[in-house]
């Protein structure tokens, strides 16, 4: 049995004094990390963020994120893994996936200097008998299922271990048209590949909203962003709700989750 934490879509700047439509995304992110440290940090083995760390993806922003997280990376760590020590956490494992807003060059250079640069950050790691497969649908707002990603996925699925999939882009409609226009055109190929595999769950970002659904018998989860969210309507409109994070429990091949809301 073990637990991990899912967060997503932070839109961080190079200072807490810079704002997204009047909102300090850095402040909100710090509050979420503080809440995690105070409430579930002792229960979880690691934290994963499914992308869009930076709103302005400059070298200065990623260097500031490293300082904010008090992050370090060593060759002994898995691809994408940091050890972070902010807001009461101490050398806490954190996996970082890039989102469409993230600049891949600066992302690697500053956050993961020990990880070989990959144009698309497809990788997997294994933890206590579970294979975590991390997929990169590309740097565009609209997901692109590339041959490279599908080839990697086909290889990563060749295991007897149960699987959990992590990614930035969503893979199922969430109910507001402009966001669902960003779904990949070749999602059928994706679901054909994973059909019949022992996948415990799929965790996504991008939509800035919390949801739980099932596709072809597989649980699919999204989580509310730590940055401003979107009103669920046909055209884009920002709103502001309390950030969420999701505590995920895995016990003998059974996955359950719990949402925590962080007051600001």
Torsion angle of alpha carbons 212, 213, 219, 225, nearest 10°? -30
If you average pLDDT over residues 224-249, what whole number do you get?
96
Q: What is the pLDDT of residues 23-54, one digit of tens each?
A: 999 999 999 999 999 999 999 999 999 999 99
Categorize the per-residue pLDDT at 78 as very low, low, confident or very high, splitting at 50, 70 and 90: confident
Contact yes or no for 258/246 (Cβ under 8 A): yes
> In degrees rounded to 5, what are phi and psi of residue 61?
-65, -45
**Distance of alpha carbon 194 from alpha carbon 219, whole angstroms:** 13
Q: Please, which pLDDT band fits residue 116 given cuts at 50, 70 and 90?
A: confident
Q: What is the CATH T-level fold of the domain 2-261, as seen in this structure?
A: Purple Acid Phosphatase; chain A, domain 2 (3.60.21)
pLDDT of residue 39: 97
226 and 7 in contact (C-beta within 8 Å)?
A: yes
CB-based contacts of 147: which residues, under 8 Å, 6+ apart? Answer: none
Confidence (pLDDT) at 205: 98
Task: In whole angstroms, give the CA distance from residue 95 to residue 144.
Answer: 22
Per-residue pLDDT band at 97 (split at 50, 70, 90):
very high
The proportion of the chain whose per-residue pLDDT surpasses 90, expressed as a percent, equals 93
Query: What is the reported pLDDT for 115?
Result: 86
């Amino acid at each position: 049995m073990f637990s991990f934490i899912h967060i997503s879509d932070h839109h961080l700047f190079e200072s807490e004094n810079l704002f997204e439509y009047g909102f300090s995304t850095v402040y909100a992110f710090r509050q979420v990390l503080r809440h995690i440290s105070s409430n579930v940090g002792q229960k979880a083995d690691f934290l994963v963020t499914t992308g869009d760390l930076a709103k302005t993806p400059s070298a200065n922003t990623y260097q500031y994120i490293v300082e904010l997280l008090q992050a370090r990376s060593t060759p002994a760590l898995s691809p994408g893994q940091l050890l972070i020590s902010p807001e009461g956490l101490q050398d806490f494992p954190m996996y970082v996936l890039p989102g469409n807003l993230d600049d891949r060059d600066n992302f690697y250079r500053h956050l993961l200097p020990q990880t070989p640069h990959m144009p698309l950050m497809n990788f997997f790691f294994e933890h206590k008998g579970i294979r975590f497969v991390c997929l990169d649908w590309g740097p565009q707002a609209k997901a692109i299922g590339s041959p490279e990603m599908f080839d990697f996925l086909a290889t990563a699925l060749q295991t007897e271990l149960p699987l959990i999939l992590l990614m930035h882009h969503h893979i199922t409609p969430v109910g507001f048209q402009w966001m669902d226009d960003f779904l990949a055109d070749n999602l059928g190929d994706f679901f054909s590949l994973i059909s019949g595999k022992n996948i415990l769950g799929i965790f996504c970002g991008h939509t800035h909203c919390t949801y739980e659904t099932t596709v072809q018998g597989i649980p699919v989860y999204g989580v509310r962003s730590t940055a401003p969210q979107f009103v669920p309507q046909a055209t884009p409109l920002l709103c502001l709700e309390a950030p969420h994070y999701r505590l995920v429990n895995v016990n003998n091949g059974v996955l359950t989750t719990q949402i925590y809301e962080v007051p600001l």
